[in-house]
Amino acid sequence: MKIFAIRDETLPPDRVLGYLIYYERARAFYIELPDDADPWATPLLLSSFVKRGQHSVSSYWSRLWVQQRIIPQDRQNIGQVLKENGLKEYDEFQLLMLTMGRCAQDDCFLEKIGTDKLPAFLLDRWAVKVEDVVPLRGFRLLVFFRNGEVRIADVRSIAATHEECRPYLTLEDRFNTVEVQPDGYGVMWSESAMLSDSELYGNSERVPLSLEDFVGFVRRRIVNAGEAAGILDCSRQNIDDLIRRGKLHPIRQDGKNTLFLRNEIVQRKQK
């Protein structure tokens, strides 16, 4: 993770407009804006977030802000430009570093900082990140947050203002492909279809459960095909036959992995 303060050359040196965070492995950008950000001083593309009361900018819009500050990939002589700058391929981050974010459309630039320079508001936000997510029936999400809270969010109500998320609210198979964004910034179905951690936290109901409780349930109540065969004192071939005949119902079956609720196996043994 690399962190940069977004500054403006026309403003006092202690003034920070926001923070750009880059995750190298995921190649994902995120921008965090101060709670008291002035929409008139905030860079144009980001000012609309401030006006809506949003201060964590999604990776999609953060990347667009970065792309406005670098050489476009479809530039006619892009190959020559990359070669002259010692780049083997088009890399948005490396191109951004060539000018430290400076461009002709404004006076903004980037300054690399360490985690010891992060403001308190950003540390507070990072305390409420998404640790994990489990899709539930009815297009709901069971969300585990970094502060230990577990909440259930009805995505249908949250996605009312997210048109890009609506295609994932028609089929549960598509909805169930949800994943956690890098470093818990929220959840996502695609690069543009995502919900932030703050949206999920502010539009959900807390449930009396912890991540440890959930992990404990998984460890104790879910068994694989080999364990199921051991409980039933039968072969793996018998397990496959029971599945084909609809006598056992895997909760997950993909390739070599077949998982069952332990109670179903125990109940089968008792019959």
* 188 and 258 inside one domain: no
* 20 and 60 inside one domain: yes
pLDDT at residue 74, as a whole number: 86
* 187 and 115 inside one domain: no
Query: What are 179-223's pLDDT values in tens digits?
Result: 999 888 999 998 888 888 988 998 899 998 888 888 888 888 888
* 9 and 92 inside one domain: yes
pLDDT at residue 263, as a whole number: 83
Q: What is the CA radius of gyration of the chain?
A: 24
* Half-sphere CA count of 196, side-chain side, radius 13 A: 20
Please check whether residue 17 is in contact with residue 55, taking contact to mean a CB–CB distance below 8 angstroms. no
Number of domains in the chain: 3
Check which CATH number belongs to the domain holding 262 and give it.
1.10.10
pLDDT at residue 243, as a whole number: 92
Check which CATH number belongs to the domain holding 155 and give it.
3.30.2020.10
- In Å, how far are 165, 192, 258, 259 from 255, measured between CA atoms? 29, 30, 8, 11
Which of 156, 179, 209 lies at the terminal end of a domain, its last residue?
209
Parent domain of 238? 214-270
* 189 and 161 inside one domain: yes
pLDDT at residue 271, as a whole number: 58
Name 252's bridge partners: 259
pLDDT at residue 2, as a whole number: 93
Which of 123, 140, 156 lies at the terminal end of a domain, its last residue?
123
* 97 and 137 inside one domain: no
- Phi, psi of 268, rounded to the nearest 5 degrees: -65, -40
Which of 209, 233, 262 lies at the terminal end of a domain, its last residue?
209
* 28 and 111 inside one domain: yes
Q: How far apart are CA 133 and CA 178, in angstroms?
A: 8
* 11 and 46 inside one domain: yes
Q: Retrieve residue 268's tokens.
A: 């089968």
Name 40's bridge partners: none
* 134 and 119 inside one domain: no
* 102 and 154 inside one domain: no
Q: How far apart are CA 46 and CA 240, in angstroms?
A: 55
pLDDT below 70 — which residues of the chain?
A: 270-271
Q: How far apart are CA 265 and CA 120, in angstroms?
A: 51
* 12 and 100 inside one domain: yes
* 169 and 232 inside one domain: no
